[in-house]
Chains A and B, each alone.
Chain A
Amino acid sequence: MSAAIPLALGIALTRPDRHVVALEGDGSLLMSPNVLATVAAARPANLTTILWVNGHYESSGGQALPAAPVDWPALARAAGIARVETVTEPGALAGALDAARAAREPALLVLPIAFDPAEEIPPYSERPEEITARFQL
């Protein structure tokens, strides 16, 4: 956990010819929100983070986060990320992502999503080495 955004930052800085999208959860980012300042300082023009916000550590079993009403857009802006948008409708995501890619500055899209405690999380189906090989640019 907490590695997605800095990993994406390293990729974005190394491959400025590609636009990199980091998919992050609120539980993971809550562990190291300091990375928002790191991204703001590095100012990659080709990095967008999509933040899923449901107040739970969903991939690890659905445990609840600390019950604090974290204002993610405000936190990101306070850390220096100017381009922040909250996307509340699925149909608006594609347009928001296109706008973020065109902005030429680090962007954060905050997506409030539902948490369903009955939803089954499937086990990982790929081996780590397969993921590494597929992920490598």
Chain B
Amino acid sequence: MTGAARIVAGLESAGVTLAASVPDTWIGRLMAEVRRSPRIRTVDVAREEEAVAVACGANLAGGRGAVLIQNAGLLNCGGILGGLVALYRLPCFFIVSLRGDARDPIYYHEPKGKVTEATLRAWGLTYALADKAGDLAVQVQTGVEAAAASRAPYVLLISGGDLASMRDGYRTCRCARPSSPCATR
């Protein structure tokens, strides 16, 4: 089973009913797996702030929403996190592709990678780095439940390699080139 399939299994087990997304390469690969789920309604939005509001709307209406976006999009979301999610104490579970860290072979993501975790800490958001060596489904369930229990955001940061199969490790990551960290891990 691929990491993407494990993540979707975690979303299903946690009772997520709706996934709102602006995709990048990695999130797009994950969303392709989400779309196969008969239990999760996918919503393609035009900007990441919309994804947050759509997911919160699902939560208010008795469902469970999730936001699947890139870290660049997360950085767009400061306003709505303050003006909607924090103000009204709404649970909001995020899966965010952590572009620009050491595992990302694409150089132009690097500035976003440098500030993502620092921004999450500055905003006071609970977050975790996905650990592919562990059970990704459990990590997703933990995040969804933590968001619900705290009535606050929870951000699970993933890398492209987390979506591949355990057996293949990072070598199946399509973004890899021969010299990239994805190809050599």
Residues of A within 8 A of B (CB): 1-3, 5-15, 32, 34-35, 37-38, 41-42, 128-129, 131-132, 135-137
CA distance A35 to B20 in the complex (A): 13
Q: A15-B62, A132-B88 are in contact. Are A9 and B49 (CB under 8 A)?
A: no
Provided the pairs A10-B65, A128-B89, A129-B89 are in contact, do residues A34 and B46 lie with their beta carbons within 8 angstroms? Answer: yes
Closest-by-CB residue of B relative to A33 is B46
Task: Report B1-21 CB contacts with A as 1/0, cut-off 8 Å.
Answer: 000000000000000011010
Whether A11 and B58, one on each chain, are in contact in the complex, defined by CB atoms closer than 8 angstroms, is yes
- Cβ-closest chain A residue relative to B51: A6
Write out the residue numbers on chain B whose beta carbons fall within 8 Å of the beta carbon of A132. 60, 88-90
Q: Among residues 59 to 108 in chain B, which have CB atoms less than 8 Å away from a CB atom of chain A?
A: 59-63, 65, 79-80, 83-84, 87-90
Closest chain B residue, CB of each to CB of A135: B60
Q: Give the one of A1, A35, A38 with max B CB within 10 A.
A: A38
Q: Are A7 and B41 in contact (CB under 8 A)?
A: no
Q: How many residues of B contact A (CB 8 A)?
A: 33
Known contacts A1-B83, A13-B18, A128-B88; A38 and B44 CB within 8 A of each other: yes
Contact assessment for A137 and B61 in the assembled complex, using a CB-CB cutoff below 8 Å? yes
**A10–B58 CB distance below 8 A:** yes
Task: Pick the residue among A1, A32, A129, A136 that contacts B50 (CB under 8 A).
Answer: A32
Give 18 A-B pairs besides A6-B53, A38-B46 with Cβ atoms closer than 8 angstroms: A1-B79, A3-B52, A6-B52, A9-B53, A9-B57, A10-B18, A10-B57, A14-B58, A14-B61, A14-B63, A34-B46, A34-B50, A35-B45, A38-B44, A128-B87, A129-B88, A131-B88, A132-B88
Take A6-B53, A9-B54 as given contacts and tell me if A41 and B44 are in contact as well, using a CB distance cutoff of 8 Å: yes
Chain B residues, Cβ within 8 Å of A135:
60
Given A15-B62, A137-B62, A32-B47 contact (CB < 8 Å): yes
Chain A positions within 8 Å of B84 at CB level: 3, 7
Q: Tell me, in angstroms, the Cα distance from A42 to B57 when the chains sit together.
A: 14
Inter-chain contacts of A131 with B (CB < 8 A): 88
Name which residue of chain B comes closest to A2, CB basis: B49
**B43 at the A interface (CB under 8 A):** yes
Say whether B34 faces chain A, with CB atoms less than 8 Å apart: no
User: Given the known A-B contacts A3-B83, A10-B53, A132-B89, are A37 and B46 also in contact in the complex, defined by CB atoms under 8 Å?
Assistant: yes
